[in-house]
Amino acid sequence: MSRRRADSQGSLGPDDEVMPYSDDETDDELDETSEEEADEPPGAPQPPGEIRPGEIGWKVKANDRAYHQLPEFQKKVFLCIKKSRYSGNAIKTYKYNVITFLPLNLYEQFKRVANIYFLFLLILQVIPDISTLPWYTTLIPLVVVLGITAIKDLVDDLARHRMDKEINNRKCEVMLNGRFQEAKWMDIQVGDVVRMKKDEFTPADVLLLSSSNPNSLCYVETAELDGETNLKFKLGLRVTDEGLQEERQLAEFNALIQCEEPNNRLDKFVGAMTWNGEQYPLELDNMLLRGCKIRNTEYSHGLVIFAGADTKIMKNGGKTRFKRTNIDILMNYTVYIIFGLLILVSAGLAIGHAFWYKDIGAKAWYLYDGKSQTSDYRGFLSFWGYIIVLNTMVPISLYVSVEMIRLGQSKFINWDLQMYFSEKDTPAKARTTTLNEQLGQVEYIFSDKTGTLTQNIMQFKKCTIAGRSYGEPTSAEGVALDRGKQVDWSWNRWADKKFPFVDHFLVAHVRSKKDKDASEFFKLLSLCHTVMVDDKDGELMYQAASPDEGALVTAARNFGFVFLSRTQDTVTIREMDKEVTYGMLALLDFNSDRKRMSIILKFPDGRIRLYCKGADTVIYQRLSPNSNHKESTQTALDTFANETLRTLCLCYKDISTEEYEVWSRKHKEAQVALFNREEALDRVYEEIESNLMLIGATAIEDKLQDGVPETISKLAKAGIKIWVLTGDKKETAENIGFSCQLLDDDMQIHYGEDVNEKLGRRQAMRRTEPQTSRQSKKKHAEPFFSGSGRNALIITGGWLNEILYEKKKKRRRLRLRRLGKQRTPTGPQDGQPMDEWEKEMRQIDFVDMACECESVICCRVTPKQKANVVSLVKKYKKAVTLSIGDGANDVNMIKTADIGVGISGQEGMQAVMSSDYAFAQFRYLQRLLLVHGRWSYIRMCKFLRFFFFKNFAYTLVHFWYSFFNGYSSQVAYEDWFITLYNLLYSSLPVLLVGLLDQDVNDRLSLKFPKLYLPGQQGKLFNYEKFFISLFHGIFASLIIFFIPYGAFQQTMGQDGEAPSDYQSFAVVTASALIFIVNLQISLDTSFWTFVNCFAVLGSIAIYFGVMFDLHSAGIHVIFPSVFTFTGAASNALRQPYLWLIIILTVGITLLPVICIQFLHKTIWPSVADKIYRNRKKYEKELEEEEKKKQPPAFQRGRRSRRSGYAFSHSQGYGSLISTGQSIRRRPQGRGRPPATIKEHPRREAENT
């Protein structure tokens, strides 16, 4: 079944190839710009590089640090304190220093309501009239909690200090006192002239002045910015190239730069340079951004324009957001509920005490305490006393226990060897400890493409030549093989020995020189391109504008057609064993509209031939009726596309001398056209690129990272939706969508125009509704896509702005209004929003539509748009989001999402520095979520449920006891038991469950992704589960208090005594409580280890050991006022019937729990229960599956009619070559020996 398309081609909407500039525009800018634009007559030509007055605001003077300290460049910081508006180049990501650590950390910790609450309790306990508990019962736990949290914060901040220090102390050469001196990055200032050498990073955003290459050409790698490793070129101005080569000239350079304010637009820069009375326009091609790496350029000089926090890479970081998990938020609300219950219970008991004292206490002479206090006042004091006594309902140890569990979970992620990437020695790294359980609740993943899903490595995999397909494992005789053996390239000294290819027949065919078509095929690949070459010690190094081009030229090189060098008007290649130079008459560069590139060559024998490569959709329209192999090539293209390979068609055309001369005149006229030059050139190109003869087609694999399709498939089964947000072209993004199985041929794909139309219809329908019902309805119930078909959405940044009414469209509307072409809307028109409510509804509609689709791909989007898409889903779906990327253009998205993941081990580390988790391969994401995330969520939920239960069961015994002690705030336990209960007696077993528990092992967690669903639905801890824990605690406290109380009513000891005293009662209830909470956690433990067993038995043993020590006569003699329970434990626990009371209490408390758990696991088992029950069978199946071979990733038998074109080449290299900017010799005045292209064509080409 062929895939259906809701096509948007041919629309009048935004350009799909353009990345929209909507970042950082404010309404003020729009209004100001629009007014200025309104003054211009329609159609008035704009001088190139002209800056609008609204954009000028940044002035930089070369080699003049004092200039930037002038009063006009000062800004107010605080009151009358001012500082320069120009940032220094040092970066700061740490939070504390030696002086601020203690006060700032304590301030941050006391922003937690719970910590303030416990500090307040401590103050209350110092007041004798209120407190019935000694002050140390609160002070010791509070100091422990604050200390552990402070140590954790200190360790995290020291890591930030180390990273900042490493970056700020990098070295760079700076022009100081008339010569270049080595300086640290942190000491560089705006206006400094810097020298950058090969393989060094650019320290700031600098204006390129000159370089060692001809015409100040500079090659850079932008992996830090966008994760791409292919080279890009930058050019210095001609005037600086010619006048700023020597150190003396650079020291005397005194130009003034006026440009735009610092902003986050990675793809835009507007400015002007004034030097020696002349003004020169500046653009992005003249700028080297911070984070770029200098490549294939021995040295380059630049002027610092933006430094430190003002650089584009830092501006793109977005705001650092404080991230909290859903469990955290829920835990805080439950704590508020407990606060409310505590106040209500304390108030009720205080009122009870007031009435009791009035009716009984005041009349009983033996209760007189010598104080003449009224019953109301005593009730008031009793209220605060009960606030202290019952404070353990909100235990301070809860927060420190949660922090310890999170720290442990983070260490498990760091230590996981299955997430360790050995090739680059990169382990997984949890860079935060606060989000682990959120990993078990993710609903949406937003992923970058380049460097995240793909390796950004292209490999020539297959081809079709003259109707025959090659690339499958084949012997030299043409016999198909089951298993391929790599071709031995030793016969070709120029070959890349690592080039993988398994079709020996094609290699033998080309080497035989008998097939003219095969020779033409690889000759075309070696000639028709814009690749630069560098000869290093006899080894050819290719520098391509895109990895696609590099892969094709490398393939030709391995098959014996080696690109050697080029000049402005020649291309030299080696054809098998002979070197041939072709004259280059014209280079028709690639662009996104043409989707093809051509080269017109003059052969040594005088023939003129055009070679062309491009998308099948455009090549087939231009083929000659006499061209052969159309059908067979189309069949091969369909097969390649179905295998998600990227395809290009290759063709040629022989041109007569007369035809070329006529065309050449038209070409020259188009090149000098003053208006619409690009359109004129396209028309001329179209004229010559006709009646082409088809040779064949190439198929390149955009190599995915290992395991990407399998990971996406498993995450989809876990109910997680994956959206791809990329700056790449639509065709490239769509091709990758098919490669990683986000898209398939059965999906109906909707593009921007279709989406806009559907949203417009919904908006129009809403406008017809009555105003009252319109405002009350927040959502429309009707789905956007009818039927049961599967849908996908592919939308570009331009359409995204159009649909969401972003400011670029607003700017255009404002301009039209001021030109008088459009009135301010007074009614619904042009699909524009009437008000903010309508704009919000439009956003909700878009999010709803996208969420109805199985897959969403947003391409040609800016970093700000990536973050906006994430925030829209967070805002309107209230879902947990995760963003994953590897470049600086992903930082904003990573910071905006609930969880940010950075791909480490690449050159670009900006994403990692801003992320919460980092690892080297996308495939590790499934283990992070389905194993560590799910386990962390289950453990945290189980920990919280049990923690609340054990504290309710423990604390509410005081509540029941108050009915029998006149509501006098007397405690039911010994003071030291209250102090140590949450620290020693009950903390370790529940802590280990929070660290180690697992319902099923990691292999079964990955085999059954549906186990992840309860986390997304928040089923394991919510208000219902909290109140179940509350009522369970109330029930347990009732049993713990009333069974011993009833047994103590009429008892007789072994020796005739009646040990019904308060101290014996306290020992019995405390002992029963310790047994109950430790056995209860044993019932809740799913995964037993020696450590768990030791913790349960050890906690009980510690309780009895400490209790007997604290109740001994020896310690009472030393501290008689502190240890008052002398001999209570030994006296009570030697009575057998008291042991029977403890056993009876424990049995009655746990029996209902055992029954309920049994019924749940047998009658209403969860998915995890079923898998656990059959775990041995499933583990055996897993072992058998591992022995078998993995099935092929693609279904090769199916046919696809979609185009496999996804060429990632960028426009610009063609003009660089044809104008000779990269190879033209320098003027002789620069101290270099004179040379001409004709004399040394090879040598000059190697300079590139």
Count CB-CB contacts under 10 A for residue 425: 9
**AA letter at 1248:** T
> Which phi-psi region, left, alpha or beta, contains residue 1129 (left: φ > 0; alpha: ψ -120 to 50)?
alpha
d(CA 827, CA 842): 17
What is the per-residue DSSP string for 45-78?
PPPTT---GGG--EEEETT-TGGGGSGGGEEEEE
d(CA 886, CA 894): 10
Q: Give the closest residue to 879 by CA, choosing from 723, 1016, 1023, 1022.
A: 1016
What length is written for the chain?
1248
Q: Give the closest residue to 224 by CA, choosing from 307, 313, 354.
A: 313
* Token duo for residue 768: 């017809």
Eight-class DSSP state of 769: S
Q: Which residues are catalytic?
A: 448
Q: Which residues contact 906 (CB under 8 A, 6 or more apart)?
A: 223, 227, 451, 886
SS3 call for 1085: coil
d(CA 827, CA 366): 86
Cβ proximity of 814 and 31 under 8 Å: yes
Q: Give the closest residue to 651 by CA, choosing from 469, 465, 511.
A: 465
Cβ proximity of 474 and 487 under 8 Å: no
d(CA 957, CA 1040): 7
Beta-strand relationship, 444-447 and 217-221: unpaired
d(CA 276, CA 256): 10
Eight-class DSSP state of 675: S
Cβ proximity of 191 and 63 under 8 Å: yes
* Token duo for residue 209: 């002045």
* Token duo for residue 1026: 């909290």
d(CA 1052, CA 1058): 5
Q: Give the closest residue to 508 by CA, choosing from 479, 483, 481.
A: 479
* Token duo for residue 1094: 């030791």
What is the per-residue DSSP string for 384-402?
HHHHHHGGGGS-THHHHHH
**AA letter at 791:** N
Count CB-CB contacts under 10 A for residue 1190: 8
d(CA 872, CA 874): 5
d(CA 165, CA 169): 6
d(CA 651, CA 692): 6
SS3 call for 985: helix
d(CA 226, CA 727): 9
Sign, CA torsion 521/523/524/529: positive
d(CA 1034, CA 1024): 15
* Token duo for residue 280: 């020169």
Q: Specify the residue for token string 């019935």.
A: 132
d(CA 534, CA 525): 18
The rounded Cα 528 to chain-centroid distance in angstroms is 38
Report how far apart, in Å, the C-alpha atoms of 962 and of each of 73, 128, 1159, 1216 are. 70, 20, 36, 89
Cβ proximity of 229 and 456 under 8 Å: yes
